[in-house]
Copies of this chain bind each other. A is one copy, B any other.
Amino acid sequence: MRKTRQREVIREELTKLDSHPSADELYRLVRKRLPRISLGTVYRNLDVMFREGMIQRLDVGGSQMRFDGDRSDHQHIRCVRCGRIDDMEALPELTKSERDAVKGAGYRLLARRIEFLGLCPACVKKAGRH
């Protein structure tokens, strides 16, 4: 993997954020520093860095992928109203009922994806008393 200015800036902007931007959100940020960069370059580098384990790619609900510069194993909570995604510190524990269910289905369990859905602080306020 060669060292390029584009990849450098993409990674810098991503790790600078504590949000979980989509590819085009990141593209808009990166373009402030590299106005001639193309969207394809952003996608390609996000893909390369994901496959190298440098960043996380989140396949949360919705049509777009999200990216996360934080490589630690953590969960996410998504606001169903505004789409915002935040980190969660919760450590998922596999319950007995879950282990039994996996066994019952005849599957070999590899991973468990948990996504919390709710209203973010800002949207709780806006939603008011509903």
Known: A59-B61, A97-B91. A77 touches B107 (CB 8 A): yes
Once A61-B59, A90-B95, A91-B97 are accepted as A-B contacts, the answer to whether A102 and B116 lie under 8 Å apart by CB is: yes
Interface centre among A62, A106, A116 (most CB of B within 10 A): A116
Given the complex of chains A and B, what is the CA–CA distance between A110 and B118 in angstroms?
A: 4
Are B88 and A105 touching (Cβ within 8 A)? yes
Query: Interface size of A by Cβ–Cβ distance < 8 Å?
Result: 40
**A97–B29 alpha-carbon span in the complex (Å):** 35
**Which residues of chain B come closer than 8 Å to A77, judged between CB atoms?**
102, 105, 107, 109
State which of B62, B100, B108, B119 has its C-beta within 8 Å of the C-beta of A108. B119
Within 71-130 of A, Cβ neighbours of B (below 8 Å) are at 75, 77, 79-80, 86-93, 95, 97-98, 100-102, 104-121, 124
- Taking a contact as CB atoms under 8 Å apart, the answer to whether A121 and B97 are in contact is no
- The verdict on A61 contacting B113 (CB below 8 Å), with A95-B90, A107-B120, A107-B121 known, is yes
In angstroms, Cα B80 to Cα A108, docked, is 11
8 pairs, CB–CB < 8 Å, chain A vs chain B: A88-B98, A89-B97, A90-B97, A93-B97, A107-B116, A112-B115, A113-B115, A114-B115
Q: Give the 3 A-B CB pairs with smallest separation, nearest first.
A: A90-B101, A106-B121, A90-B98
